[in-house]
Amino acid sequence: MKVQITNSHFIQHVWTALTVLASVFCAVYAAQAQQPSIVPAPMSAVTTPGTIQVKNGAVVSYPEGDAQASFAAQHLVELVQRTSALHLVARAVRTGAHTDALIAITRTVPIADSEQIEAYDLNILPTQITISAANDAGIYYGTVTLWQLLTAQDSFHDLVELHCMHIHDQPQLRWRGIMLDSARHMQPIEFIQQLIDWMSLEKLNTLHWHLTDDQGWRLEIKQYPKLTQIGSQRELKAITAIMDRTTLESHQYGGYYSQEEVRKLVAYAALRNVMIVPEIEMPGHASAALAAYPEFGMADTHLTAPPDEYGIFPNLYNVNDASFTFIENVLTEVMQLFPSPYIHVGGDEAIKNQWKSSPTIQDEMKQLGITTEDQLQSYFIKRIDTFLTEHHRRTLGWDEILQGGLAKNAAVMSWHGVQGGIDAAKLGHDAVLTPVRPLYFNYRQSDAADEAPGRSALNTLSDVYTFNPTPDVLTSEERTHILGVQGNLWSEYVISPDRVEWMLFPRAAALAEIGWTPPDRRNWNDFLQRMTVEARRYRKLGINFDPAVFRVRSTETLQPDHVHVTVQLSNQTGFGIVHYTTDGSTVTASSAKYESPFNLTLPSPLRAATFAPAAGAEAVVIPGSELDRKLDALSERKRYSQELKLCANDPAIAMEQDPVQPGRPVILANYQRPCWIYKAADLTGVDGISVGMVALPWVFHGTNNATPPLGESHTVTGEVEMHLDTCTGKLLATIPLEPAVGHVGVTPLHASLHDLSGIHDLCLNVIRPKTNPLWVIDWVQLYPSTHN
């Protein structure tokens, strides 16, 4: 009997043999070899005997005529050159002629199985490194993994030695995404290209692009030019104009992406295995579209421009044939630009008051046999789903599309927790899990004073990493409908690209690992160790990441003599070793190791950093972990807004001025009640107080646009009232806001204090005659009487 072995069978036999061989030597060599610093962790990485040296001029070969392999090889060369001192050379070779190359990229037999399309094998032998995969995605990801291995050491030598190993890798989930909101604040197309690059290096494969909302329409639609002529522009009044009604200064904020820009971006992303899924919101979040084409809406009073506030607006599309024709024409152009099998149609937060109050709509509902407005929304989405299905696309919507009945071919993006995804899966529909907690990346990563703007609640790196993307309540069959996970970045308060980077990274890495790596291969402490290396790569790539997970924070307790402080050092995770100095010198691994609180005499410099032990080498500092402070009598009595306690937590947001102002102060405030508490203030010897006041534009559209309580202001511009112990306690000072009117940025306002002593809470409450501007406190400074 003759046995025929196909290429795929042969590769499987080789892989099995390698695994058996590796298991024999694994125990001996594992102690000698450092675990690979790869993010996300691969499915399988087995260390084998030996090492290989990669030197300058090493050749990366790829099959001649293989466009994707050519791109992956060139991309590897460029990545290594950008992030190390090593220079590789990419070279095309004929099939089977890889023997002279140190690094060989090869193709295996194409795999039709959708579960295998991102799989690859990376084999490091003493004589050659091979990357083999059947599909383009696997080829690309194999080179990304090799790049990570080549840049795992913090050195700038033109030679890298790698331990031999075999990596067999593929993701556990198909959808590993980031949602970028370009409707509220628009990012340059060049930045989005860069973001796609960075996403792909974490093996994230989907960019959900939020292109339309109440505040802006960002996509060129040639059949309806007013969508961008009118719908892409909103007015931002200068803060000086808000403070002084005689000042009329303002500017238009906005812009849009041309169809040519989009086509190039889609092609750019495809080379990096990133699918771009467009979102066109309906039936709600439609104010920008209806400002451009009010005839397709419901309101009696037509909008003339997109609103300049954030919230949930009642403006909905009509459900007549003309409106559906408009939407279908728009979607036709969208489908011509985006080859994604999914088109996201929104479907969230549709306030249905306009439908309820319309006799025409109510008559239409009767004719359709519909009794509720939720059912009418279901009818709306189902009609769009039919249209998309006819064009061989799938509808994707937020979990509100479950209400009233789910469209036949729709998939659900579950943001109200995971229940929407569970419900969809049990109905036999696909779902992507993207719950607010912990996968909304516009929430802050820490409560530190220097944290970036965002929602007040924390979604830490640990919160993201410990999220379970495959709910236990689902059967194995139902779990196949969970496509994957996604982190969402809404941009109301994330107003510039550098802030986008800060909010996404390093949480994007944690998201990537829970989407890629099997649960039994995930380990939080191991992840943190690998992230110390990833942080160095971020620095070399120029990513403005948030180092909150490693950054050293100091907490000082002022002693009764007011000359000494007790210092406690920590970081968010307790990972690593903290070293510090108190003489102004640079912190090294030889500096004092922090083990317990210590005392300092004021004034004194304080420097610290977190160090990660490296196997067989001296501990190295983790980028971004450094602390550098000058402690003195004033710094110990100063608190920034993010260090103060809010009088009421909900709703609370860390905000900055828009447009961006020099210095970019970030203020944590409850915008409904701007009131803060300075906890446990030592008032002995204090005879003065200053508050740093900032005027922010009122950008909050509440339910029915209700006005929040303002208090009883005794001046035209308002004032800050300071009370002892509680917000109804003894009034210590009233600080008028008048001197800050007309100033941009932070304005210090001062008041005297008398006959105070002991430890007390101080309540600082802003009283204002109107909502706009929103006056907020950036910092509070107490002054000792000895201060000059």
Tokens coding 47? 């260390």
d(CA 613, CA 297): 61
| Catalytic choice (213, 214, 430, 556) | 213
Cα dihedral sign for 691, 697, 702, 707? positive
User: Residue with structure tokens 């042969």?
Assistant: 10
| Catalytic choice (244, 328, 333, 349) | 349
d(CA 642, CA 447): 7
Cα dihedral sign for 730, 733, 737, 738? positive
C-beta of residue 308 within 8 angstroms of C-beta of residue 699: yes
Query: What 8-state DSSP symbol labels residue 574?
Result: -
Q: Is 285 a catalytic residue?
A: yes
**Alpha carbon of 58 to those of 74, 100, 102, 124, 494: distances in Å?**
13, 10, 6, 14, 43
Strand 700-701, strand 310-311: pairing: parallel
| Catalytic choice (285, 344, 579, 723) | 285
C-beta of residue 594 within 8 angstroms of C-beta of residue 567: no
Tokens coding 455? 């929602």
Identify the three-state secondary structure at position 142: helix
User: Residue with structure tokens 């004719």?
Assistant: 367
Tokens coding 478? 């139902």
Q: Is 292 left (phi over 0), alpha (psi -120 to 50) or beta?
A: alpha
C-beta of residue 565 within 8 angstroms of C-beta of residue 631: yes
Spatial CA neighbour of 394 closest among 513, 488, 483 = 483
Which amino acid is present at 160? V
Spatial CA neighbour of 464 closest among 187, 37, 176 = 176
**Alpha carbon of 674 to those of 351, 644, 668: distances in Å?**
28, 12, 9
Tokens coding 711? 């208090």
Tokens coding 721? 């009232």
d(CA 71, CA 563): 63
C-beta of residue 721 within 8 angstroms of C-beta of residue 765: yes
Q: Where are any strands of DSSP class E within 479-603?
A: 482-489, 553-558, 564-570, 577-581, 592-593, 598-601
Query: What 8-state DSSP symbol labels residue 282?
Result: E
Identify the three-state secondary structure at position 216: strand
d(CA 669, CA 696): 11
Contacts of residue 197, defined as CB under 8 A and 6 or more positions apart, other chains included, come to 272
Residue 386, phi then psi, degrees to nearest 5? -60, -45
Which amino acid is present at 279? E
C-beta of residue 413 within 8 angstroms of C-beta of residue 395: no
Q: How many CA atoms does the CB half-sphere of 193 hold within 13 Å?
A: 12
User: Residue with structure tokens 């002693």?
Assistant: 559
Query: What 8-state DSSP symbol labels residue 35?
Result: P
Tell whether omega for the bond before 294 is within 30 degrees of 0, i.e. cis.
no
Q: Is 213 a catalytic residue?
A: yes
Alpha-carbon torsion angle 134, 135, 136, 138, nearest 10: -70
Query: What 8-state DSSP symbol labels residue 440?
Result: B
Spatial CA neighbour of 102 closest among 172, 54, 35, 136 = 54
The radius of gyration computed from the CA coordinates of the chain, to the nearest angstrom, equals 29
Q: How far is CA 747 from the centre of its chain?
A: 31
Contacts of residue 507, defined as CB under 8 A and 6 or more positions apart, other chains included, come to 441, 445, 459, 461, 464, 487
Tokens coding 124? 């490091």
Q: Is 721 a catalytic residue?
A: no
Active-site annotation, residues: 213, 285, 349
